[in-house]
Amino acid sequence: MPNVYIKTYGCQMNERDSEQVAQMLVSRGHRMVTSETEADVILLNTCSVRDMAEQKAIGKMGMLRKLRRTRPHLVLGYLGCMAQARGAQLLNVSPHADLIVGTQKFHRVADYVDELLARRQEIRMDDERLPIVDTDEEAGSQSTIRDHSAEGGVITAFISIMQGCNMRCAFCIVPRTRGSERARSIEEIVKETEGLIDRGVREITLLGQIVNLYGRHEFEKVDGKSPFVQLLERLHQLNGLERIRFTSPHPIGFREDLIESFACLPKLMEHVHLPLQSGSDRILKLMRRGYTAQQYLKLVEKLRAARPGIAITTDVIVGFPGETEEDYQATREICQTVGFDNAFIFRYSSRKETIAADMEQQIPEEVKENRNQDLLCLINANCEAKLENHVGTQVEILCEGPSKTNPSRLSGRTRTNKIVIFEGSERHIGQIFKVFITKSSSNTLYGDPAILA
């Protein structure tokens, strides 16, 4: 029974893809392990959004080569976005890699692993190792992401509802690594969700590169409602499903029907991750984002009117080519105005074959870092203040299980996606209840174990 270790870099979609690969390998008789030192097969599921993520994966693969000194038949592979973008060129920097599989071929990984393992039984150490490279496009690949981990007791789950992106933002390599938009059918997604409910899942998060544009090319509007809203309404009807989330949307995908969903679908949690990227109209235009700062602010107002108390988090890029101090201050101002619950702040990272990579006025790294740190201080202060406001109140949580940082305590999430740590017992896992908040830290709430309503 070969042991397999998968290390995942990047976003929640990559996590979901790794889960699918793991389940397919387990169904073949492989055993997933948590340490690379135990593994016969090591797979790196990669990210290409920023250069640092690629360099980490390449560096890791270089370190893994040393394991072959004692395990010559070890299989090493790259999966995912970097594999898709670079393909066979990765063999130039990682000539010891055995497998390179792109984003539309995750469902073939188990076949390729079995093939490579079979080869290892037949060759000697000095024989040539012929790698397998598959980054071809495949029609219908969006419908292959459906296998979840077999273990029970999982309370929350991610569901990929689409693949790809058609937006062509100037800074983004995703359309190249993930391909064009392709949606799964509503019936297929509902069926997958029903299976998860049967296994104890109470909360799902719908995943898509631009999730709220789901199905716009494949499916028709019904009664003025987009395919995405139709999907939300179908899922909302499922008995046993208590919470629905989605990520990541695009501001242009928030039409009136989706905004109204926050007012009329109680299972749709009051949290929206709404990427801003910049508060400067000039930079937003260069980024090809398709909205202005005022349109973004108007959308925030509508969401807050539809669901009072809704939490809004965001993504921001600082140091985009041509970004002046005035442009940056416009971003800072809109962050102060919105009062985000949290934000991911990124220094612009040039990616080959994107429009922004060839733009003039690339910003010095020192300037990017200064702006990054300044905006982080602003966001962190606002996040801490929002968490402090919860102290002395009761909040509803879904208990997901032991805390990742302290297994002796339990962890749950509020409807607004804030983490709450508290002392409890196994009977609380999977349950929805209220906890009295006694204190807060920079990014976490803490509940009184004696007051569980």
pLDDT digits 0-9 by tens, 261-298:
999 999 999 999 999 999 999 999 999 999 999 999 99
For residue 402, is pLDDT > 60?
yes
Considering only the top CATH level, what class is 152-269? alpha beta
Question: 214, 158, 222, 155: which is closest to 184 by C-alpha?
Answer: 214
pLDDT of residue 178 exceeding 90: no
CATH fold, domain 394-452, is OB fold (Dihydrolipoamide Acetyltransferase, E2P) (2.40.50)
Task: Name the average pLDDT for the chain.
Answer: 92
Sheet holding 311-318, edge to edge: 271-273, 311-318, 342-347
Rounded to an integer, what distance in angstroms lies between the CA atom of residue 145 and that of residue 159? 8
Q: What 3 state SS string does 116-157 have? A: HHHHHCCCCCCCCCCCEEECCCCCCHHHHCCCCCCCCCCCEE
Residues 34, 5 contacting (CB under 8 angstroms): yes
- Rounded CA-CA distance 400/403 in Å is 8
Q: Which two tokens stand for residue 295?
A: 């349109």
- Mean pLDDT, rounded, for 376-405: 95
The tokens describing 11, both together, are: 């976003």
Percent of the chain beyond pLDDT 90? 78
Per-residue pLDDT tens digits for 223-271: 999 999 999 999 999 999 999 999 999 999 999 999 999 999 999 999 9
DSSP 300-365: HHHHHHHSTT-EEEEEEEES-TT--HHHHHHHHHHHHHHT-SEEEEEE----TTSGGGG-S-PPPH
Give the H or E element holding residue 244.
strand 243-247
Give the pLDDT confidence score for residue 453 in this predicted structure: 46
Which neighbouring-strand residues pair with 156? 203
pLDDT of residue 126: 46
pLDDT tens, position by position, 192-227: 999 999 999 999 999 999 999 999 999 999 999 999
User: 6-41, pLDDT tens digit by residue?
Assistant: 999 988 888 988 998 999 999 999 999 999 999 999
Condensed to tens digits (0 to 9), the pLDDT of residues 95-142 reads 999 999 999 899 999 999 999 998 877 655 445 578 999 998 876 666
CATH architecture classification, 3-134: 3-Layer(aba) Sandwich (3.40)
* Overall pTM surpassing 0.85 (yes/no): yes
Q: Where are the domains of the chain?
A: 3-134, 152-269, 302-388, 394-452
Q: Measured between alpha carbons, how far is 152 from 200 in angstroms, rounded to an integer?
A: 7
Antiparallel, parallel or unpaired: β 394-402 and 432-440: antiparallel
Q: How far apart are CA 218 and CA 189, in angstroms?
A: 15
List 243's β-bridge partners, or say none: 203
Output b/e per residue, 322-359; b: 16+ Cβ within 10 A: bbeeebbebbbebbeebebbbbebbbbbebeebbbeee
- The CATH classification of domain 302-388, taken from the options 3.30.750.200, 3.30.559.10, 3.30.365.10, 1.10.150.530: 3.30.750.200
CA nearest neighbour of 201 among 395, 422, 398, 27: 398
Q: Please tell me if the domain spanning 152-269 has the same topology as the one spanning 302-388.
A: yes
pLDDT tens profile 346-369: 999 998 889 999 999 999 999 999
Closest CA to 421 of 291, 405, 325, 111: 405
Q: What is the pLDDT of residue 406?
A: 86
